[in-house]
Structure formats: structure tokens, C-alpha cells
Amino acid sequence: MKDDIAYKFRIYLNKDQEIILNKTFGCCRFLWNQILAERNNVYERLKDNDETLHSYNYKTEKQYKQTFNFLKEPDAKALQNVNRNLFQAFQNFYDGLKGKRPRVGYPRFKSKHNKQSYTTNNINNNIKIDFKRKKLKLPKINMWFSYRDDRTFNEKIRKVTVSKTKSGKYFASISFKRKVNIQVKTNIHESKIAAFDMSCKKFMVGTSNRFINPRFYRKHENKLKNFHRKLSRK
């Protein structure tokens, strides 16, 4: 079976590379906010008509490109992933309301003051990595990005998520699939099954062992009190 693996490398940029990535971040953020605003407006207009609301055709990223020419500059796959990610965010929100998964908040508008990121896919080997030179090539950017990391892999790159932290550091999370040999255990012999119970006096009680409650909190309560006093003065 194959499992999803991701290596996160810190990348180092020159001024031209920073301008290109910041433009891509801005376009993806702008598209996210436009699509989210459209969905909110449609819901407010059609919330009393469920049939029309569920069959409404929302704009695609291609239609937004025709309205806003600057969206043609960044990587097309990055914009497509914005639409997919927002759709998935809504799906997770509705599934949480129905109890199908843990509850998550309603999708929010993005700000340039928070963490910035975009995801692009490897199509026709347009994402390349040179482990000897420690260089990374991204789609629609005719420059190699430098990174510092000794990890290597032979698998084909699936996608890359480029991010920028609030402190101005840039990272590339490279995702690929790796074959993992996992042996599924189907039968467990009765002799391997052990039963344990808990009580007020004993921390854990088994058929052959009894463990005393260590009472970590009570034991270090005075020490913890002193630490809280020191913290409150800082």
C-alpha cells in the first residue's frame, strides 16, 4: 500500500523570486475571498429557496480570470486548488453540522497579515528538484529556488505547497506517495489479551500486576505554585 509523505524544506529567495511568490499569494488570496463573497451573497438571496440554491452554478476560476486580468499571471493549478480547497472547507463545515466529522468553523476571508500559502500540482514533470545542487523548480517560474536539507527521495512529486510565515520565512512542502509495507493483524490469541482496571487507590490493576497511583499533580503542587508565581511577575 502507498502512503502520502511530505517533506517540508525551507527555501531561500532573492528579490525577484519574492515578488513572484508574493504575487501568487495575493492572487490566490484574492480569488478565495471573491469566491467566498459570491457564495455568501448567493446564500443570502436564495436561502428561502433550497432547490434553486443547491442547483446554482457558481463562477469558476476561468470566469474570474476573464474579469480580473491579473489572475492570468500566476500558476493556473494554484488557482484551481483555491476553488477546490474552498469547496472542501464548505464540505467539512456541513459534514460537521450533520455529525459526520468533528465540527469545524465556517470558512473565513483571508488576510495578507496572516500566513500565506498556495498549492500547485506536478503536471508533465513541471516540478523538479535537484538534490545535488539543492535546488527546486516550480511551475511558471523560470528560476530555481535554493533550499537547505539533506533528505532525498526517488518517488515522483505529486504536489508542492509553498508558504510564507508571519516572520517572512518561506517553505515548500513537497508531497509524494511512498510504498509502505503494513502487515494487517487479523487474529489475536486469547493468551495475548490482558485486562486492566482502575480504582481510587490503585492507578492500574491487572490480573498479575498492580500499579500505585503516582499522583504527579499532588506531588508537585507546591513546585507548580511557585512556577505560577514567577510567571505572573513576568
Run of H or E residues at 6? strand 2-12
| 3-state SS track over 176-234 | EEEECCCCCCCCCCHHHCCCEECCCCEEEEECCCEEECCCHHHHCHHHHHHHHHHHHCC
By the 8 A CB rule, do 195 and 207 touch?
yes
Distance CA 95, CA 79 (A): 25
The per-residue pLDDT string of the chain (234 residues; one tens digit each, 9 = 90 and over) reads: 778 899 999 999 999 999 999 999 999 999 999 999 999 998 888 877 777 777 888 888 999 999 999 999 999 999 999 999 999 999 999 898 888 888 889 999 999 998 899 999 999 999 999 999 999 999 999 899 999 999 999 999 999 999 999 999 999 999 999 887 777 777 777 676 677 777 777 777 776 777 777 788 888 888 999 999 999 988
Degrees, nearest 5: CA angle 228-231-232: 90
Picking from 149, 147, 156, the residue whose alpha carbon sits closest to that of residue 176 is 156
Residue 189, pLDDT score: 72
What is the pTM for the complete model shown?
A: 0.74
182, with CB counted inside 10 A (0-12, 13-18, 19+), is: exposed
Picking from 7, 17, 34, the residue whose alpha carbon sits closest to that of residue 143 is 17
Distance CA 40, CA 80 (A): 20
